[in-house]
Amino acid sequence: MKKWIFSSALFLCASFSNNPIHKHNCADHNHPQMMIDSSALHAPKVLDPSDSRFVDPDTIQADYLAVKPMQIDGFEVDSLEKMEKAFEVLEKVVNSKEFKNRVINFKNDTGVRSFASNQGLSNEKIYSIFMSGREILQQDTPHEMNFFLKLYYKRYSKVIGWTNGDINTININWKFFKNFKPNDVAGNLAHEWTHKIGFDHRFAAEHDSAPYAIGYIVREMGKRYLKGEELY
Ligand SMILES: [Zn+2]
């Protein structure tokens, strides 16, 4: 039971949109998400190279994207170690060719090659924006995923973390973080950071949105990386 609660809350994220039109509040989840959020159920699909819509990843240029911790508050030695591992996983995954392919050739649940809540942007454009490393609030630090993290503890909360469009800080609830593997943390960082570059989801959890789908991709690839698999 405990495990189910944990997994259902995995990406119960929290963000206010940067776009006032789509302003919503996923920080104040007063109700539990009644869905099982296992990676097996939410494995983002990718187009087969034989598909006529397939885009050769080699035709899309991207510079190396470095993970850069800016301010890390409230972490003890063990949790900091886990976070550092998560940073390593995240940087490894986002710079891989597989990640590039899975974002560019992502297809949603209905088979369409586009993310939900994509603001009219193609997968390629979303990948390029992601890899440019320019957060809405940190436009002058390209090629970096800048992280301002704060660990807090709220025992009776179902929110695993929260942020909003006006602040850099991503607040992470220790209640969930303590059970996370580094790849779960990496997936969650990818989700939250995708909000930081301006993408949103209309509801929790819009699995085909860029924050969710990219978070799942990072989490799944990160799991394999932690098992010793080489990522390309
Ligand atoms: Zn979110």
Distance, in Å, from the CA atom of 1 to the CA atom of 110, rounded to the nearest integer, reads 31
Q: What's the predicted TM-score (pTM) here?
A: 0.85
Give CA torsion, residues 47, 51, 53, 58, to 10 deg.
70
pLDDT at site 45: 96
The predicted structure's pLDDT at residue 41: 62
> What is residue 176's predicted lDDT score, i.e. its pLDDT?
92
Q: Distance, CA 51 to ligand 1 centroid (Å)?
A: 30
Q: What is the pLDDT of residues 64-82, one digit of tens each?
A: 999 999 999 999 999 999 9
Question: For residue 167, how far is its CA from the centre of ligand 1 (angstroms)?
Answer: 14
C-alpha separations of 22 from 4, 16, 118, 198, 214 in Å: 30, 9, 12, 11, 20
Whether the upstream peptide bond of residue 205 has omega within 30° of 0, thus cis, is: yes
Domains of the chain: 2-21+34-226 (3.40.390)
Cα–Cα dist 23/160, whole Å: 20
Q: What is the DSSP letter of 182?
A: H
pLDDT tens per residue, range 92-120 = 999 999 999 999 999 999 999 999 999 99
Q: What is the mean pLDDT of residues 150-162?
A: 91
223 CA to middle of ligand 1, Å?
A: 21
- Measured in Å, residue 78 CA sits from the centre of ligand 1 at 26
The sign of the dihedral angle between the CA atoms of 95, 98, 104, 110 is: negative
Residue 49 alpha carbon to ligand 1 centre in Å: 30
From the CA of 52, how far away is ligand 1's center (Å)?
Answer: 32
The per-residue pLDDT of the chain, averaged, comes to 85
User: How remote is the CA of residue 198 from the centroid of ligand 1, in Å?
Assistant: 11
Per-residue pLDDT at 125 exceeds 50 = yes
- From the CA of 18, how far away is ligand 1's center (Å)? 12
Q: What is the pLDDT of residues 9-41, one digit of tens each?
A: 344 444 433 333 223 333 332 222 223 344 446
Residue of higher predicted confidence among 161 and 180: 180
